[in-house]
Amino acid sequence: MSSLLQIGSSSLLGNQSQLATTSNNIANLNTPGYSRQRTEFASYVEWGVGRSQVTRLFDQFAIDQYRRDTSEHAKLKALSDNTSILDTLFSNDSTSVAKGIDSVFARLHEAADDPTSLTPRQLVISDSQALVDRMQSLSDRVLEQEKVVNEEIKLQLNETNSLIKSLYDINKAVVTSKKVEVTGQASPELLDERDEIVRQLSEKLNVQPLEDKSGAILLNTQNGQPLVTNGHYFQFKAVNGDPDPTRTEIEIQASNGTSKRSFNTDGLGGELGGLIEYRENVLDETANSLGQLAIAYADAMNEQNKKGVTLDGELGENVFNIPTTTALGYRDNSSANHNIEVGIEAGKGGSVTNFDYQITFTSATEYTIQAFQGGEAVGNVTGPYTNTTLPDGSQSTSPELPDGLTLNLEADGAFVEGDKFLARPTRLAGVQIELNINRPEQLALAAPVTVENPIDNLGSATAKLTDITSTDTSNSPVNMSAFDGAGNLDADAPAKVIYTLTGEYEVQDSSGNVIGTVSSGDNIMQQLRDAGTWPASSHGADYPGYEISVSGKAEAGDEFNIAYNSDSLDDNFNAQKLTDLQSNDTMRRNVTGSEENTLTFNQAYSNLIGFVGDTANRANIDLAASESLLLQSETRVQNMAGVNLDEEAADLIKFEQAYNASARIITVAQTIFDSLLSAVRA
């Protein structure tokens, strides 16, 4: 009878525990991170049910996969959301730089048809200003995205710090719980809460948890940087970047303050990883590419306009102001007051890339340059370069700098080996570029020289201006062109071509002095240059800066006169050259070591739109794939740890019936006991 009572009472308590566990499962159906629980019983050497123990049902491999998929999904979600914003911005016709460029060239065609009229000229200026406004607005919107990313990174770091602290605290609770529990196991609720914290952390960055002997979880990043240890935890801090103070970077510091260091974001994962990848691989390249387009377009227009003559009879000037930038010095440099001004050499806009450049001094007077794209080194280190200050105060670099760069070095005392600077020549160009002219007369649509075919020539030959290569009026250190800058040609410049009795062409200056003789009428100035008529030591490579050719049958004594074009009316020679820029391959593809791989302005902008659109599309595709994988891994976790209402309801009925049956055993034992007492009394 005592055995029967013992069996009944232990069974009653055991089923009561089963009912409590089942009820708890049902109550936590919608609790995030809750793992289904089950009551298990230890074996009992005598009659009845042994000691009960509540355990969690989970699959650690499934949980680990779920965590990894959560991190990847969060990263792709951040990348997709942000690239979609950029894609929407570039797909808007109202911000299209290509439409602005097309509009300017359409106006130039109109001006070329009537070069004397001021109205089409004014429309060229108006549309050029509208193009500048588009470039500035679009570039500014792109750069604003970095500010948004900076704020998002700060927010994510604060949330991550809170989760790391919570994990450290709950680790201590788990270890304490294991010590006080009779079973030597921490309570399931604590373990569920901890696993949920780790899962939430995996949304922020890619983490690697490892449980030690004490039951605490040690947490590292994917690349092995510790976040939570037995003794302390680490906290993130948003700091100004080095060398760019406008860029938020990450430091990590131990909770006890013993160590602080920069945080390696390689393979970071999670939302933080997505934001950083978006900033480095999408935003940087987009902003730099817009600046590259602005510089290449402005430089091409400037150089061609300077090869013409305005309605005022003056040589053309720059249409646009191309900005210079200041290289960013690293904190460890020998002085914070060193200064390097970075510019683009006039006429080299077609050599510009969208790369950033690191300048590293190997001595006080020599430095090397390494190109970077998306934070990765591109090509090989170039240099060392040496700067020399010329008598006029300008600086000359030997050998020539790559990619059209110019550097103006101003040391605070002297540079020191190891000083480093980050040069970003194109990043702000789209925002800072400006229109330099405001009068329609300033457009140089006419050729700077005229070629006269006298009516009294005996032959039918015609001399024609074929090209203007330079109107540079500087004479130091050499005479760059035949233009004197005062509305005339140099006195010793080619001014007349005469067909001689010997069938050659004699070139004379304005005083009748013979400069040289060439054998044919094709590219006469080039023939003189090839013959060494103008020594390189005293003349520029393009001297005199204009090219003429004579075609047709000439007779001895026929002459052709060359003069400065002080009356530019009804001349559209340079206007045609300006319109040709629309279809010319004037922009460099971003390929290292090759400045010949070129494309048009619109092709470059189309490539940029394609890059943004393709990046957004790939991010969306990858996000959809990651959502599918995340759903699969979540389902796998739920299959083991999730609460199934149908199953729990069935268990509730089963344990209720078992509980009632256990109570009946006790009743039977009580009845037997009463019967025995009655028999004894009788």
**pLDDT tens, 545-558?**
999 999 999 999 99
Whether 388 has a pLDDT exceeding 80, the answer reads no
Least reliable range by pLDDT among 228-232, 464-468, 514-518: 228-232
Angstrom distance (rounded) from CA 283 to CA 143: 8
Residue 341: strand pairing partners: 326, 408
Whether 679 has a pLDDT exceeding 90, the answer reads no
Angstrom distance (rounded) from CA 46 to CA 459: 133
Residue 370: strand pairing partners: 358
Rg of the chain, C-alpha, whole Å: 40
Q: Hey, which of 72-81, 206-215, 228-237 has the most confident mean pLDDT? A: 72-81
Contacts for 507-516: CB closer than 8 Å, 24+ residues apart: none
Write down the mean pLDDT value for the chain.
87
What is the residue-wise DSSP string for 144-205? HHHHHHHHHHHHHHHHHHHHHHHHHHHHHHHHHHHHHSTTS---HHHHHHHHHHHHHHHHHS
Residue among 261, 259, 214 nearest 242 (CA)? 261
- Asked whether the bond before 399 is cis by omega within 30 degrees of 0, the reply is yes
Angstrom distance (rounded) from CA 447 to CA 564: 9
Q: CB atoms < 10 A from the CB of 407, how many? A: 21
Angstrom distance (rounded) from CA 527 to CA 517: 9
Residue 372: strand pairing partners: 356, 377
215 alpha-carbon distance from chain centroid: 43
Angstrom distance (rounded) from CA 14 to CA 51: 8
Whether 390 has a pLDDT exceeding 70, the answer reads no
State the burial class of residue 337 (Cβ atoms within 10 Å of its Cβ: 0-12, 13-18, 19+).
exposed
What is the per-residue pLDDT across 79-100, written as a single tens digit (0 to 9) for each?
Answer: 999 999 999 999 888 889 999 9
Confidence of residue 114 (pLDDT cuts 50, 70, 90): very high
Percent of the chain with pLDDT over 70: 89
User: Does residue 541 sit in helix, strand or coil?
Assistant: coil
Whether 593 has a pLDDT exceeding 60, the answer reads no
Angstrom distance (rounded) from CA 146 to CA 125: 32
Whether 678 has a pLDDT exceeding 70, the answer reads yes
Whether 180 has a pLDDT exceeding 80, the answer reads no
Angstrom distance (rounded) from CA 485 to CA 667: 121
Instruction: Give the chain's length.
Output: 682
Q: Over 89-138, what HEC string results?
A: HHCCHHHCHHHHHHHHHHHHHHHHHCCCCHHHHHHHHHHHHHHHHHHHHH
Q: Hey, which of 57-61, 320-324, 643-647 has the most confident mean pLDDT? A: 320-324
Is there a contact between 205 and 67 (Cβ–Cβ < 8 Å)? Answer: no
- Quick one: tokens of 404? 């059209």
For the chain, give every domain's residue range. Answer: 2-57+642-681, 279-441, 449-564
Is there a contact between 134 and 100 (Cβ–Cβ < 8 Å)? Answer: yes
Confidence of residue 349 (pLDDT cuts 50, 70, 90): very high
Confidence of residue 26 (pLDDT cuts 50, 70, 90): confident
